[in-house]
Amino acid sequence: MFNYVKDKEFLSRIRNLCGEIMQDFCRYLKEDYDIGAVFYLVGSGARNLIVQNASLPIDLDYNLEIVRCDDFEDCKTIKEFARKSFNKALHKHGWEDCEDSTSSLTTEKRRFIEGNPTKFSMDVCIVCRDTAERFYRLIHEKTGFTYWDKYYWNEAPHSAKIRKKAEYIKKRGKWELVRKQYLNIKNKYLRQNDHDHPSFICYIEAVNNVYNTRMSWKQTE
């Protein structure tokens, strides 16, 4: 069953280490390929919702947002330069090469020599945004033959409404309700052996569930 990771010192160590790697990632991308990018933590790590199933590994999700490059349409080159820069940053910290998956760059699983023995990894999604603030993810569609692989920007799910709902809940001091809902939903799908509901979908469901009960809050305030 899923439970929240309560070791705050361990989580802080992970965030600090991964943050240093991401800083080096952006620096190498700029120095070696003149591509400007910023990074930020997303997903459960950014929302204080990191959960763990027994002693299984946990991961932190980051967005690498491309803000400047010669050609935004040359997706293959952007992905390749990002992969090389990420590997260079990983090597500096003693990590192995990342794995180039369809929508992200994924690291190996690591653990600290001392302290909490839980393994952890990083997933980095390459994104950009247009003038209307719509986000796009860089997709590497693999065909089995490298020559025929496709690279393109795919619009990410629109999350503005969820963000506004989450802000409303936080301002009313009801975020703990989201945490309880999120954990219950994660465990519900785990019991059902349902792997078609990733963490972001569980988060959306939790926020909507809590927001839709907002009229009952006033009765308990």
Domain boundaries, the chain: 2-155, 160-217
Q: Which residue has the higher pLDDT, 168 or 131?
A: 168
Q: Could you tell me which residues are beta bridge partners of residue 152? A: 139
CB 205 within 8 A of CB 185: yes
What is the DSSP pairing of strand 135-141 with strand 150-155?
A: antiparallel
How far, in whole angstroms, is CA 49 from its chain's centroid? 12
Tokens in use for 105?
Answer: 């760059």
- In whole angstroms, give the CA distance from residue 88 to residue 82: 10
The region of weakest confidence among 34-38, 81-85, 107-111, 143-147 is 143-147
Q: Is the pLDDT of residue 219 over 80?
A: no
Predicted local distance difference test score (pLDDT) of residue 45:
87
Q: Is the pLDDT of residue 221 over 60?
A: no
Q: At what angle do helices 175-191 and 199-211 cross, to 10 degrees?
A: 130
Q: Return the CATH number of the domain spanning residue range 2-155.
A: 3.30.460.90
Q: Average model confidence (pLDDT) for the chain?
A: 92
Predicted local distance difference test score (pLDDT) of residue 187:
94
Nearest of 29, 20, 40, 9 to residue 129 by alpha carbon: 40
Nearest of 129, 139, 133 to residue 75 by alpha carbon: 139
- In whole angstroms, give the CA distance from residue 88 to residue 99: 13
Alpha helices for 59-174 (secondary structure H)? 75-92, 160-171
